Amino acid sequence: MNELKVLIAGGGTGGHLFPGMAVAEALGKIRPTEVRFVGTARGIEARAVPERGWKLYLLSVSGLYRVGALKKLLGLLKVPVAFLQSLKILLTYRPDLVIGVGGYASGPLLLAALLLGRRTLIQEQNASPGMTNRLLGRFVPLSFVPFEGLEGVFRNPKVVGNPIRSQIQEAASLPDRRPKEPFTLVLVGGSQGARVLNQTLVAALPSLEGQGIRILHQTGVADCEDVRQAYAQHPEIDAQVVPFVDDVASWFCEAHLLLSRAGSMVNEVCAVGRASILVPIPNTSGDHQGSNARALESGGAAIVIPQAELNAQRLAQAILDIKNNPEQRTAMEEAAKSLVAGDAAQVIAQEALRFYHLEVKS
């Protein structure tokens, strides 16, 4: 059987990259597959992809959204270079299937693939797509989206939920996944950390002392030492502070409550079935984090605190309210699990191969 050659483009953050990895894993379970990734040297993919043994191509591209005029100009000047790099990758590797998952590298590579007539698809993680997928969604023949209502953005959207990494799926399927005492709060600020969340939780520590709360805190590299020093001033609080979490599935399983931004990682929180407090990044492209957070809040799975309203007192009160109300927490956990449609990665792999007639013939 010939090996399927797949190219997955995008990344920058775990929210883009990890669903792409989940689809790569699912494709490999269906038929022999060689997967390569395309990203940037500054994104999480520069570390995470080689660690998993996949080849990574790097594009000279940077963001154009929410940057100053000079950075936007420099970003625009890089686009032709990235496009030529993309053409070279496609003509050299000759993939059977190109998957765009959003992020800086996704745009030039997808555009080049479309112009060369390659089989392409988009995997969108958010309720409100970012700039790249909005621009190209009408031209890519097949897209997989998490929610209804994106027909005006994508040419052929199929609602499947969001792909979940195998390690999270395995954690979610454990027969006894109830966290053990003491009450454990997990803060995961994304692959780069979240300074606002770091600072606000640190400011809330005096209110959490003596409440029997354990904290697992992922800070990002920049804030790690400062946060560790802050916890040293509150020795009564049992805390583990790290810059990055490799085994995030274990942390999710230990959590009674998650505190995080509202990127696509919220889907993994739902898969494991955990209550959450979400603080969306304001002014994201299409307000996708706000849309994600509201979807969980309306489903009863999360409490949303807008960043403009976030302060130590409000955060501490929200944490303690959930800790001291086990019935509310259980209801939030059940609501989170109900929002998971199924194994989206497997559905995407199967549907993509069927759509492009790449499935294994019996």
Q: Residue 42's pLDDT band (boundaries 50, 70, 90)? A: confident
Position 1 scores a pLDDT of 63
At 123-147, the pLDDT tens digits run 998 877 888 888 999 999 999 998 8
Give CA–CA dist 206/355, Å, rounded.
56
Give CA–CA dist 104/60, Å, rounded.
9
At 290-348, the pLDDT tens digits run 888 998 999 999 999 999 999 999 999 999 999 999 999 999 999 998 888 788 999 99
Written as six digits, the tokens of 122 are: 């988009």
Length of the chain: 362
Handedness of CA 292, 298, 299, 305 (dihedral sign): positive
253: left (phi over 0), alpha (psi -120 to 50) or beta: alpha
- CATH number corresponding to 168-338: 3.40.50.2000
Q: How far is CA 247 from CA 53, 252, 277, 350, in A?
A: 17, 9, 21, 27
8: left (phi over 0), alpha (psi -120 to 50) or beta: beta
Position 361 scores a pLDDT of 62
Better-predicted residue by pLDDT, 74 or 155: 155
**Is the pLDDT confidence value at 65 over 70?**
no
Same fold, 4-164+342-355 and 168-338: yes
At 100-112, the pLDDT tens digits run 998 889 999 999 9
Q: Residue 187's pLDDT band (boundaries 50, 70, 90)? A: very high
Under DSSP, the state recorded for 187 is E
Over the range 86-107, which residues count as b (16 or more CB within 10 Å of their CB) and which as e? bbebbeebebbbbbbbbbbbbb
**Is the pLDDT confidence value at 166 over 90?**
no
- CATH number corresponding to 4-164+342-355: 3.40.50.2000
User: Beta strand 143-145 with 120-123: parallel, antiparallel or unpaired?
Assistant: parallel
| Domain residue limits, the chain | 4-164+342-355, 168-338
